[in-house]
């Protein structure tokens, strides 16, 4: 970690200390247990995960969006810039209230205070709970996930419950026809892609330039018409 980064705040989490560090007026990073989670100097993937989802929604007059993970606020800012100024509703599910506090405080300079936009509601909690709570009258046009590691394989062949078959089916159910499920991943994951296709999504893998050597964005589109099962 560069010594020039000054510690601004630290909170304890089950995964280790979550820290906000700064070096210069617009250079910030968030770390957990000493590992860099995100940096204001490397934002291409964080922007792309929202830009790609919103591009697929072009023409929808009043989109309803769910973003999982607030981070430095770049994904939220990209969604706000790409969506209509009237009618848009964006929910951001963030586990740690300190991250919201940082985005309203020292990090606000990076995103023109994105969290203060009247189109935005920040909810402290697990994004999977928001997904499961959606129903036919409150479905989303897009679900955008920009979370720690993304759909990485876990030890002993385990699957992260955020990216397993059950929650992916919930994502499909929580989306309107033609809705978009956009996910940042630290690296491509063919098993995750296979699970997306089994649920019925049409999947595209995008490798954003400048987003990191291995970083990937999965853009999955829910069909507008459900296929009928023969029989």
Mean pLDDT of the chain: 91
Q: What's this model's pTM, rounded to 2 decimal places? A: 0.92
Distance of CA 108 to the CA centre of its chain: 18
pLDDT band at 198 (very low <50, low <70, confident <90, very high): very high
Residues 42-221, CATH architecture:
3-Layer(aba) Sandwich (3.40)
Q: What is the mean pLDDT of residues 99-114?
A: 98
pLDDT band at 131 (very low <50, low <70, confident <90, very high): very high
Q: What is the mean pLDDT of residues 184-204?
A: 94
Q: How do strand 202-206 and strand 216-221 relate by DSSP bridges? A: antiparallel
> Positive or negative CA dihedral for 30, 80, 172, 46?
negative
Read off the pLDDT of residues 163-189 as tens digits, 9 standing for 90 and up: 999 999 999 999 999 999 999 998 899
Read off the pLDDT of residues 1-21 as tens digits, 9 standing for 90 and up: 445 789 999 999 998 999 999
**Which SS3 state, helix, strand or coil, does residue 117 take?**
coil
pLDDT value, residue 157: 65
Lowest mean pLDDT among 84-98, 179-193, 214-228: 214-228
66 closest CA partner among 46, 88, 39, 97: 88
Q: What is the mean pLDDT of residues 191-196?
A: 95
Is 124 a residue whose pLDDT tops 90? yes
pLDDT band at 226 (very low <50, low <70, confident <90, very high): low
**Which SS3 state, helix, strand or coil, does residue 49 take?**
helix
pLDDT band at 121 (very low <50, low <70, confident <90, very high): very high
Q: What ranges do the domains of the chain cover? A: 1-41, 42-221
pLDDT value, residue 229: 45
pLDDT value, residue 24: 85
pLDDT value, residue 96: 96
């Amino acid at each position: 970690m560069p010594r020039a980064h000054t510690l601004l705040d630290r909170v304890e989490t089950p995964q280790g200390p979550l820290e906000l560090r700064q070096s210069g007026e617009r250079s910030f990073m968030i770390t957990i247990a000493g590992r860099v989670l995100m940096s204001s100097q490397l934002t291409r993937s964080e922007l792309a995960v929202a830009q790609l989802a919103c591009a697929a929604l072009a023409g929808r007059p009043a989109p309803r969006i769910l973003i999982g993970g607030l981070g430095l606020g770049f994904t939220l800012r990209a969604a706000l810039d790409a969506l209509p100024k009237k009618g848009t509703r964006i929910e951001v599910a963030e586990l740690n209230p300190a991250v919201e506090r940082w985005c309203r405080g020292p990090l606000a300079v990076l995103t023109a205070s994105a969290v203060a936009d009247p189109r935005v509601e920040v909810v402290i909690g697990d994004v999977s709970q928001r997904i499961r709570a959606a129903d036919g009258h409150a479905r989303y046009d897009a679900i955008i996930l920009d979370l720690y590691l993304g759909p990485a394989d876990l030890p002993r062949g385990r699957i992260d419950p955020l990216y397993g078959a059950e929650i992916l089916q919930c994502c499909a159910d929580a989306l309107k026809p033609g809705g978009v499920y956009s996910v940042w991943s630290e690296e491509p994951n063919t098993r995750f892609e296979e699970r997306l296709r089994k649920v019925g999504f049409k999947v595209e893998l995008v490798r954003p330039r400048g987003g990191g050597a291995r970083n990937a964005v999965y853009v999955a589109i829910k069909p507008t018409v459900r296929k009928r099962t023969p029989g």
